[in-house]
Amino acid sequence: MAITKLNTYQPLTEQSAISMAVNVGIFEDGSLLTCEEIGDGNLNLVFHVVERDSGKGIIIKQALPYAKVVGESWPLTIERARIEAGALNLQRSFVGDLVPEVYHSDPSLAVTVMEDLSSLTIARAGLINGNKYPRLSDDIGTFLANTLYFTSDYALHPFRKKEYVKEFSNPELCKITEDLVFTDPFFNSETNEFEEELSGDVQQLWDDFTVKLEVAKLKKSFLTEGEALLHGDLHTGSIFVDDQHTKVIDPEFAFYGPIGFDIGQFIANLIFQVIASPGEKEPILHHIENTWNVFSATFSKHWKESGDAYTKVNGYLEYVLEKSFQDSIGFAGCECIRRTIGLAHVDDLESIEDKEQRLKAKRACLNLGKKLIVNRKHILSIEELLTLVRSYSE
Amino acid sequence: MAITKLNTYQPLTEQSAISMAVNVGIFEDGSLLTCEEIGDGNLNLVFHVVERDSGKGIIIKQALPYAKVVGESWPLTIERARIEAGALNLQRSFVGDLVPEVYHSDPSLAVTVMEDLSSLTIARAGLINGNKYPRLSDDIGTFLANTLYFTSDYALHPFRKKEYVKEFSNPELCKITEDLVFTDPFFNSETNEFEEELSGDVQQLWDDFTVKLEVAKLKKSFLTEGEALLHGDLHTGSIFVDDQHTKVIDPEFAFYGPIGFDIGQFIANLIFQVIASPGEKEPILHHIENTWNVFSATFSKHWKESGDAYTKVNGYLEYVLEKSFQDSIGFAGCECIRRTIGLAHVDDLESIEDKEQRLKAKRACLNLGKKLIVNRKHILSIEELLTLVRSYSE
């Protein structure tokens, strides 16, 4: 096997991925290695390299210079590989094993070499198959509290925080969210995709200026409020799980934004399960409740360690948590809508085979989404949110 | 005269400032030039270079590697010279002659060579002397509307805006504001300075947790909300005026922050005049009212040209203006307090010779400041603000 060293960017092949695994010192020269490209191919190549004798594996992820989701016509710089590796390393310093270990990264090749998670399952797929993953909400609640608190102004010296804001400036991937989450689904945009039967519901949404005004405010928050370093794409497809482990992957959308965005996206993706799943809904509802409760309890615990004088002022923590809760609900509402009628759909809904059932579930997501967006300041507790979600899943 | 060219940073002298004026091509070699250092010396050297025969003048401003206000012990990088020159050039593209023209800038020498404004007066000094400057609020209202709108997400492509956010990341000068405006005056900090007679009032402020909670929220906004490129230090000492001209100078504190901050600081510095001035108060009250009215009318006019789909949604402009108004009032309240008991005082108050009168004016500023901070969401129009300000100036 010829071992060549790449110096300038080119997409890896299974062969050159093997060479890289040896070159960066993870496997010895002469090891018997197999390699398979396992990515879903939206934005990246993902190689699984395994040493045959020991069974030891690694993942090599490489950003492509375009977004495959709409063909090569959507160019995207490979800068996001630097963001992803940087975010994984920073998150790992706050949450340990809740994110994969990065063994090596090379921004110029857009490559991140990391821990093999192939023994785990993508949470979305596992939940659709009826698994409950008892650790999921404890772990994601902790992930949210630690990553969001420790990158905020409450924890960081302002110089360090402003360095991170620059390091994680992420215009290209933010633009995808700005368009696909906040704008396109609420207007008659070419990127939208929905069954013809939903046309009436969608037209009603586009004509609803109460909803649009509230989405405008939420988009403004996404554009301007640099509260903490977000994962930026925290849906159940970005989480690997089994009954004992939770690993949050793919933070290539990371940037400084409003705390509620990560929380809201995760909650919305659990809501899809509550609405779509034919099985027992209470375990998923429990995950929603527990995610918020673990987040707020853990965030509050960290808050007490802050050196910032204002964190000692009565009512300030409660203000920050209440704002984050309201924001979470609003962002969850946007996610409910965009995953139903926007460009990127979710298997939770799409895999419902019965058409009437599927349309009913999608209408529930649309209507609940609107309700969450418009009523976010009047839903005063996680219990009230659960009651509302239940009422849309019957 | 020996003409030497500087390559590395060193503080200019009157002699080397003259050399620079020739080297950058503003005056011909052999011109008869005089030079005087005219800075107030807080953070910078300021040289006034004049050609004797033509009378033509320029200003050479150089950042010092420390803040003189507390001696050389407060180090400060010269990075702010790059920020200032960049902000002046960008602002000039939106407001034309309302800011001085930059002829030359050199970030490595921390030097900005610009238009001579020595025929004008610093607005604070002129107002204290009883001048009314009829153009002041028209011009500052326009300056605010244009600089804040055209650097916002409503006007800029998101990629461009995020480039500016990085370019104008300004941790050191923001930290000065974070400490001296938002934190120190509200706690028993060494930097505070006030007459002993105010001790009781100050202790009352420090014990007032309602005020402190609202200041915490305003500081959070300053730290996290990147709505537009602010001037960052828009008090009446940063404005040169005569009856026909207004020139906003010194944007070295420029960074992406909440729109209301610039508006609030300017209004607060007019409020000092209303409270302190023995003369007619109505012309200054008119400037406060007109600043807001010109700002909001001009901002609204620009808004109608925006390409952002959400700017067409009914109620969104009103939401943005209302938020900016409430923020302005809150930030004005912080400025009222910090200029009374914090590190940096204002001549409007300090120049009141009669001690009882001075203490009365300072107490009015303190109490009005608290009121503005706590009640900012309940003051619903600029007229209501004027009524409130009047009631504290009697």
Shortest CA gap B45–chain A (Å): 26
Note whether A80 and A252 are within 8 A (CB). yes
Residue A138 lies in a domain: yes
Mean of the pLDDT values across residues B220-232?
98
Distance separating alpha carbons of residues A157 and A145, to the nearest angstrom: 18
Q: What is the pLDDT of residue A279?
A: 86
Residue B196: partners with Cβ closer than 8 Å, 6 or more residues away: none
pLDDT reading at A67 higher than 60: yes
Which residues in chain A have their CB less than 8 angstroms from residue B216's CB? 310, 313, 316, 319
Claim to verify: residue B137 and residue B21 sit in the same structural domain:
no
Where is the domain boundary, B115, B136, B152?
A: B115
Note whether A230 and A254 are within 8 A (CB). yes
Q: Which residue of A has its CA nearest to B255?
A: A162
> What is the overall mean pLDDT for chain B?
95
Q: Determine whether the interchain pair A316/B213 forms a contact, defined as Cβ–Cβ distance below 8 Å.
A: yes
Q: How far is CA B24 from CA A277, B3, B6, B114, in A?
A: 72, 11, 11, 12
Distance separating alpha carbons of residues B326 and B381, to the nearest angstrom: 9
Pairing of strands A246-248, A121-122: unpaired
DSSP state of A207: T
Other C-beta atoms closer than 10 Å to the C-beta of B277 total 18
Residue A107 banded pLDDT, cuts 50, 70, 90: very high
Claim to verify: residue B92 and residue B225 sit in the same structural domain:
no
> What is the overall mean pLDDT for chain A?
95
Q: What is the pLDDT of residue A2?
A: 44
Other C-beta atoms closer than 10 Å to the C-beta of A159 total 11
Claim to verify: residue B220 and residue B83 sit in the same structural domain:
no
Distance separating alpha carbons of residues B111 and B49, to the nearest angstrom: 14
Residue (of A338, A377, A307, A268) closest to A150 by Cα position: A307
Measured between CB atoms, which of A166, A215, A316 is closest to B169? A166
Residue A1 lies in a domain: no
Tell me the pLDDT tens digit for each residue of A7-30.
789 999 999 999 999 999 999 998
Q: Determine whether the interchain pair A172/B159 forms a contact, defined as Cβ–Cβ distance below 8 Å.
A: yes
Concatenating the DSSP letter of every residue in B170-186 gives -HHHHHHHIIIIIIGGG
Q: Which two tokens stand for residue B354?
A: 């009669």
DSSP state of A225: B
Claim to verify: residue A60 and residue A199 sit in the same structural domain:
no
Residue B65 banded pLDDT, cuts 50, 70, 90: confident
Where is the domain boundary, B95, B115, B135?
A: B115
Distance separating alpha carbons of residues A174 and A170, to the nearest angstrom: 6
Residue A159 banded pLDDT, cuts 50, 70, 90: very high
Chain B within 8 Å of A165 (Cβ-Cβ)? yes
Note whether B359 and B197 are within 8 A (CB). yes
Residue A98 lies in a domain: yes
Chain A within 8 Å of B5 (Cβ-Cβ)? no
Which residues in chain B have their CB less than 8 angstroms from residue A220's CB? 153, 320
Q: Determine whether the interchain pair A309/B183 forms a contact, defined as Cβ–Cβ distance below 8 Å.
A: yes
Question: Phi, psi (5° rounding) for residue B75?
Answer: -70, 150
Residue (of A249, A272, A239) closest to A133 by Cα position: A239
Tell me the pLDDT tens digit for each residue of B181-208.
999 999 999 999 999 999 999 999 999 9
Chain A within 8 Å of B230 (Cβ-Cβ)? no
Which residues in chain B have their CB less than 8 angstroms from residue A215's CB? 310
Shortest CA gap A261–chain B (Å): 15
Residue A8 lies in a domain: no
Interface test mutation site (partner A, options B76, B149, B159, B162, max chain A beta carbons within 10 A): B162
Residue (of A115, A58, A61, A108) closest to A84 by Cα position: A61
Q: Determine whether the interchain pair B225/A225 forms a contact, defined as Cβ–Cβ distance below 8 Å.
A: yes
Chain A within 8 Å of B309 (Cβ-Cβ)? yes
Tell me the pLDDT tens digit for each residue of B7-41.
789 999 999 999 999 999 999 998 999 999 998 76
Measured between CB atoms, which of B166, B213, B215 is closest to A166? B166
Residue B33 lies in a domain: yes
Structure-model confidence comparison of residues B394 and B212, the more confident one: B212
Claim to verify: residue B304 and residue B386 sit in the same structural domain:
yes
Q: Determine whether the interchain pair A313/B224 forms a contact, defined as Cβ–Cβ distance below 8 Å.
A: no
Q: Determine whether the interchain pair B310/A224 forms a contact, defined as Cβ–Cβ distance below 8 Å.
A: no
Q: Read off the CATH number of the domain in which A370 is found.
A: 3.90.1200.10
Q: Which residue of A has its CA nearest to B221?
A: A225
Using alpha carbons only, what angle is made at residue B25 by residues B19 and B29, rounded to the nearest 5 degrees? 55
Claim to verify: residue B154 and residue B241 sit in the same structural domain:
yes
Distance separating alpha carbons of residues A290 and A285, to the nearest angstrom: 9
Distance separating alpha carbons of residues A229 and A150, to the nearest angstrom: 9
Helix (H) or strand (E) holding A239: strand A239-241
Claim to verify: residue B76 and residue B127 sit in the same structural domain:
no
Reported ipTM? 0.95
Concatenating the DSSP letter of every residue in B117-132 gives -TTSEEHHHHHHTT--
Chain A within 8 Å of B216 (Cβ-Cβ)? yes
Q: Which residue of A has its CA nearest to B223?
A: A153
Q: What is the pLDDT of residue A267?
A: 98
Among B residues 316-345, those touching chain A with beta carbons less than 8 Å apart: 316, 319-320
Q: What is the pLDDT of residue B78?
A: 87
Residue (of A332, A376, A321) closest to A149 by Cα position: A321
Chain A within 8 Å of B207 (Cβ-Cβ)? no
Q: Determine whether the interchain pair A183/B224 forms a contact, defined as Cβ–Cβ distance below 8 Å.
A: no
Note whether A33 and A52 are within 8 A (CB). yes
Mean of the pLDDT values across residues B321-333?
98
Chain A within 8 Å of B157 (Cβ-Cβ)? no
Distance separating alpha carbons of residues B80 and A155, to the nearest angstrom: 26
Distance separating alpha carbons of residues B169 and B138, to the nearest angstrom: 29
Tell me the pLDDT tens digit for each residue of B257-310.
999 999 999 999 999 999 999 889 999 999 999 999 999 999 999 999 999 999
Shortest CA gap B223–chain A (Å): 8
Measured between CB atoms, which of B174, B217, B316 is closest to A319? B217
Residue B77 banded pLDDT, cuts 50, 70, 90: confident
Tell me the pLDDT tens digit for each residue of B342-382.
999 999 999 999 999 999 999 999 999 999 999 999 999 99
Q: What is the pLDDT of residue B20?
A: 95
Tell me the pLDDT tens digit for each residue of A288-298.
999 999 999 99
Q: Which two tokens stand for residue A5?
A: 């060293």
Q: Determine whether the interchain pair A175/B187 forms a contact, defined as Cβ–Cβ distance below 8 Å.
A: no
Claim to verify: residue A50 and residue A126 sit in the same structural domain:
no
Q: What is the pLDDT of residue A69?
A: 57
Other C-beta atoms closer than 10 Å to the C-beta of A152 total 25
Residue B4 lies in a domain: no
Residue B271 lies in a domain: yes
Claim to verify: residue A277 and residue A377 sit in the same structural domain:
yes
Distance separating alpha carbons of residues B355 and B339, to the nearest angstrom: 17
Q: Read off the CATH number of the domain in which A62 is found.
A: 3.30.200.20
Interface test mutation site (partner A, options B77, B153, B182, B220, max chain A beta carbons within 10 A): B220
pTM score of the predicted model: 0.96
Residue A41 banded pLDDT, cuts 50, 70, 90: low
Residue B6 banded pLDDT, cuts 50, 70, 90: low
Total domains in chain B come to 2
Claim to verify: residue B307 and residue B163 sit in the same structural domain:
yes
Chain A within 8 Å of B84 (Cβ-Cβ)? no
Concatenating the DSSP letter of every residue in B206-253 gives HT-HHHHHHHHHHHHHHHHB--EEE-S--SGGGEEE-SS-EEE--GGG
Domain interval for residue A92 = 14-115
% pLDDT > 70, chain B:
96
Q: Which two tokens stand for residue B173?
A: 């000068």
CA torsion, points B305, B309, B311, B313, in degrees to nearest 10?
130
Shortest CA gap B162–chain A (Å): 6
Rg (CA), chain B: 21
Residue A214 lies in a domain: yes
Residue (of A6, A13, A56, A8) closest to A31 by Cα position: A56
Residue B66 banded pLDDT, cuts 50, 70, 90: confident
Claim to verify: residue A138 and residue A236 sit in the same structural domain:
yes
Where is the domain boundary, B57, B89, B115?
A: B115
Claim to verify: residue A126 and residue A252 sit in the same structural domain:
yes
